[in-house]
Amino acid sequence: MGLLHQVISLQDREMGTNTLLLGMDGKNEMLKKTESGPSGGIHVQQLNGKKAESNIEGTAWKVRVTSVQDRGVKQAQIMQNELVVRFKRDLTEAEIAQYSRDIGGSLLRKNSRHTYLFSFGIAPSEAISYFKQKDAVLAEQHVKLHPNTAAVESRRAVEQPNDMYYGSNQWNLPLISADKGWQVTTGDPNVIIAVVDTGVDLNHPEFKGQLVEGRNMLTGTNKPQDDNGHGTHVAGVIAARTNNLEGIAGIDWAGKIMPVKAMDADGSGSVLDIADGIIWAADHGADVINLSLGEYAGSDYLHDAIRYAYDKGAVVIAAMGNDGIDDPSYPAAYEEVIAVAANDEQKETASFSNFGPHTSVSAPGVAIPSTYPNNRYAALSGTSMASPHVAGVAALIRSINPALSPAEVRSIIQNTADDLGPEGHDEYYGYGQINVANAIKAAVDSKAK
């Protein structure tokens, strides 16, 4: 059985009712077996004093390859008999034909930067060895990545601005001193935050005026419409339209979201599409790139894409993963990436959050309210929800001082975090929980130097 996750709809705008959206790797009749189960099962919540009801059928999205019972069993979803190969130059038609014959396969597609996806009919190690003998710069098996969303847990209330759910549901923003930071800046429309994910609901009212042109890497078009929900939720945490008497408040009120769809309706995406989405975002002016996704198999192709974006000045942020283990997941474990763990309202590490020496910072990631497709709002949990908090802070820092390098932005975020757990850097919180107000002050000070 796949890992269950729960989506709490804060309001169904069409029906005007509170609803509970349920989804899993399987069928909804499995819910009865897990409602009272251990951590990772379904937790029914109360909204406005009423018990929520299930209102959708089927699968919402796949969360991880591993199940709750098998936490610690780390398997990459390797695409069988597919190999990613990059050369120093484009291949000729004759070379493609010869290579295909030699490995008993065919060319599946050609990507950017002299990169090819081949099928093969020999042992994987033999195929990799073959291409290395042909002076390939890179040859590795094709891997799929998944969103880092976990089971929802309980949450409480807070206050301010005038958005409908800010005061009653968004406990996460005052916890990181976003309200104090907004006294200095609410962002800059020239700052672009790319969300490489399942796309964004382009018609949601909270994104009116908040988007720049994006890309659908799956279809090769400029229509990154979300057919899953994960990307819409992530984007709302970062920059939902704020102070509009509607829905929720985003961390960055003025920054623009660049939706890059690299994951399908099932919530999975190939390394090729995700890496190419990162490259596309960097080439089109992304100042910050959020990656609420991951897997335990490293990929040189993905790492190269992240280095490319980093070298072009993009701050890259990724979720740590939701298996509650200390094994590195990627892309979070790459050195250019700000790796984000999740904590709850009590500033305790979330039960599902991965940890390890590469943890940079932590951020709220339990029952986080945000936008959801079809004009709805939902609360999700996971390091997927923690990561966009940091992306929002990075965007606010860039709004103050756009000249800061990715390394300098990272330094500000880490040095201004609220130290939690053991003194100094630790495996669970990194340098601590992010503090928006402190980070903005440090950005202001950096501009004065």
Give domain limits for the chain.
77-145, 147-448
**Overall average pLDDT of the 427-444 stretch:** 98
What is the rounded distance in angstroms from the CA atom of residue 60 to the CA atom of residue 24? 6
**Better-predicted residue by pLDDT, 437 or 268:** 437
Q: Are 197 and 147 in contact (CB under 8 A)?
A: yes
For 430, phi then psi, to 5°, come to 65, -125
pLDDT tens across 176-224, in order?
Answer: 999 999 999 999 999 999 999 999 999 999 999 999 999 999 999 999 9
Predicted confidence at residue 14, as pLDDT, reads 29
User: Going by DSSP bridges, is the β-strand pair 315-319/288-291 parallel, antiparallel, or unpaired?
Assistant: parallel
* pLDDT bracket for residue 323 (50, 70, 90): very high
| Residues annotated as catalytic (active site), given as ranges | 197, 230, 384
Q: List 294's β-bridge partners, or say none.
A: 146
CATH top class, domain 77-145? alpha beta
* pLDDT bracket for residue 109 (50, 70, 90): confident
Domains 77-145 and 147-448 share a fold: no
What is the rounded distance in angstroms from the CA atom of residue 131 to the CA atom of residue 140? 10
**Better-predicted residue by pLDDT, 76 or 284:** 284
Neighbours of 172 (CB within 10 A): 26
**Overall average pLDDT of the 339-343 stretch:** 98
Average pLDDT along the chain? 81
* pLDDT bracket for residue 150 (50, 70, 90): low
Mean pLDDT is lowest, of 199-208, 295-304, 309-318, 437-446, for 295-304
Predicted confidence at residue 317, as pLDDT, reads 99
pLDDT above 90 (res 297): no
**Overall average pLDDT of the 302-319 stretch:** 98
What is the rounded distance in angstroms from the CA atom of residue 300 to the CA atom of residue 328? 15
What is the rounded distance in angstroms from the CA atom of residue 418 to the CA atom of residue 181? 14
Mean pLDDT is lowest, of 128-132, 218-222, 355-359, 399-403, for 128-132
Long-range contacts made by residues 36-39, C-beta under 8 angstroms, separation at least 24?
A: 38/68, 39/68, 39/151, 39/351, 39/352
pLDDT above 70 (res 15): no
Mean pLDDT is lowest, of 3-17, 58-72, 268-282, 284-298, for 58-72
Predicted confidence at residue 103, as pLDDT, reads 87
Distances (CA, A) of 255 to 77, 111, 200, 389: 34, 30, 15, 13
For 407, phi then psi, to 5°, come to -65, -40
pLDDT above 80 (res 372): yes
**Overall average pLDDT of the 365-388 stretch:** 96
The CATH fold assigned to 147-448 is Rossmann fold (3.40.50)
Predicted confidence at residue 43, as pLDDT, reads 25
* pLDDT bracket for residue 48 (50, 70, 90): very low
Predicted confidence at residue 341, as pLDDT, reads 98
What is the rounded distance in angstroms from the CA atom of residue 51 to the CA atom of residue 73? 35
pLDDT above 50 (res 74): no
Portion of the chain with pLDDT greater than 90, in percent: 61
**Overall average pLDDT of the 271-297 stretch:** 96
**Overall average pLDDT of the 18-41 stretch:** 25
pLDDT tens across 50-65, in order?
Answer: 222 222 222 222 222 2
pLDDT above 70 (res 3): no
Q: Which residue has the tokens 């992240």?
A: 306
Predicted confidence at residue 161, as pLDDT, reads 65
